[in-house]
Amino acid sequence: MHYPHPESSRTQAFRWARTGLMRRCGRIQCQRAVSEVRHANPVASFDEAREIGLDRTDLVSMYRNMLLTRGIEDRGRTLFKQGKIPGSFYTGLGNEASAVAIGSAMGPDDVGTPIQRNIGVHLARGTQPWKILAQYMGRQGGPSVGRDGNVHFAEFDLGLITMVSHLPAMLPVATGCALAFRIRDEQRVAVGWFGDGSSARGDAHEAMNLAGTRELPVVFICNNNHFAYSTPNRLEYAIEHLAERALAYGFDGVVVDGTELLSVYRETHLAIEKARSGGGPTLIESVTLRLEGHGVHDDASYVPRELIDEYRDRDPIDQFHRWLVEHVDFTPDEQRELESAVKQALNEALKLAEASPEPNADSLLDGVYAARDALEAPHFS
């Protein structure tokens, strides 16, 4: 089944063009051509949103999840300053649209491996806000039951798999899930996230190479926020867009503005359904900017001021609020009601999280080893 893309330019084959050979200092020099990759256009009307299965309730729900995402991280930042969060603290400020859109586009039986800037994915999949705050504080009520903190968590029954710090180690996991779905003949799709910095690692190549050769049902999401910690894109890779690499692996790549919620949703929805129908993987490069440092310990002084100002002007929450007002007549009364409901939900979440007990050392080994009778695969005694 073919899933057409409504955007203007199609992905062209990646190529090296030798525009002339000349000898200088005894060396042959080649000029590299600028390769082209498809860029997604914005969703410009409510009619276009309906074409991808979204009604007004869906749109407002995604807006609510963006507000919740930012609110949770705002309260987490305060908790950190109060000394209630051990270690460091990481946020996805500026990445709310991309995270919520992708989590919302996933099917109920799909699986994903969200990383450190993707709290919105967890909310879109159904994780309760208080559990996230409890996770930050290392309490028993968090998804890791106090055994880990910060963003190292996921609720498996919601189709999410816990990340590890050394990115992009979760890409082979997502590809492995997709291979399992193929072997089991299940109509499910895996979604794997990574950042622009981790795109240079071997496990990113291995995961995408296997996915491409086997045409596996997986969607790769690159959160390109311009910097790998403090290293800018221009020192990370020599191509214009990381999505171009998809062509070398034999599947489609697309660049999308990560601040535009509906554009990200549409591209993810199309890619997931293409994968589900046997069309193979897609690499989506979601271009954003983290509007804070790598973590609270980082002042991000290496980011040019004008770049920060540009992306603050494109704040994903403010941008989508304007879209709702223009296209679905979202009223000031609705905005006030929604903000009040989100504030109440966050206050209640914080109370529940702070009431959650510290982990008991006696239960440290619980859940570490699987019971033999719980294993699906054959094993040796």
Give the pLDDT confidence score for residue 50 in this predicted structure.
98
Mean per-residue pLDDT, 117-139: 97
* pLDDT tens track for 240-280: 999 999 999 999 999 999 999 999 999 999 999 999 999 99
Confidence of residue 34 (pLDDT cuts 50, 70, 90): low
- What are phi and psi for residue 29, nearest 5 degrees? -110, 135
Confidence of residue 19 (pLDDT cuts 50, 70, 90): very low
Give the pLDDT confidence score for residue 366 in this predicted structure.
84
Cβ–Cβ < 8 Å for 158, 114: no
2: pLDDT strictly greater than 60: no
Q: What is the pTM of this model?
A: 0.88
Confidence of residue 166 (pLDDT cuts 50, 70, 90): confident
More confident residue, 72 or 370: 72
Confidence of residue 148 (pLDDT cuts 50, 70, 90): confident
Token readout for 192 is: 């794997």
Give the pLDDT confidence score for residue 111 in this predicted structure.
98
Among 80-89, 101-110, 118-127, 208-217, where is mean pLDDT lowest? 80-89
Confidence of residue 35 (pLDDT cuts 50, 70, 90): low
Average pLDDT in the chain = 90
* pLDDT tens track for 292-323: 999 998 999 999 999 999 999 999 999 999 99
Token readout for 266 is: 């549409």
What's the CA gap between 145 and 353, in Å, rounded? 12
Give the pLDDT confidence score for residue 145 in this predicted structure.
92
Give the pLDDT confidence score for residue 367 in this predicted structure.
78
Quick one: CA dihedral 53, 59, 61, 63, positive or negative?
Answer: positive
Share of the chain above pLDDT 70, in %: 89
Mean per-residue pLDDT, 98-102: 98
Sequence spans of domains, the chain: 42-356
Give the pLDDT confidence score for residue 308 in this predicted structure.
95
Rg of the Cα trace of the chain? 22
DSSP letter string, 120-139: HHHHHHT--HHHHHHHHTT-
Token readout for 308 is: 């920060």
Mean per-residue pLDDT, 61-80: 97
Q: Which one of 3.40.50.970, 3.40.50.1980, 3.10.450.50, 3.30.2320.80 gives the CATH number of domain 42-356?
A: 3.40.50.970
Residues ≥6 apart with Cβ < 8 Å to 11: 36, 37, 38, 246, 247, 252, 253, 254
What's the CA gap between 207 and 170, in Å, rounded? 9
* pLDDT tens track for 190-216: 999 999 999 999 999 999 999 999 999
DSSP letter string, 281-298: -EEEEEE---SS-SSTT-
Mean per-residue pLDDT, 124-135: 98
Give the pLDDT confidence score for residue 241 in this predicted structure.
96
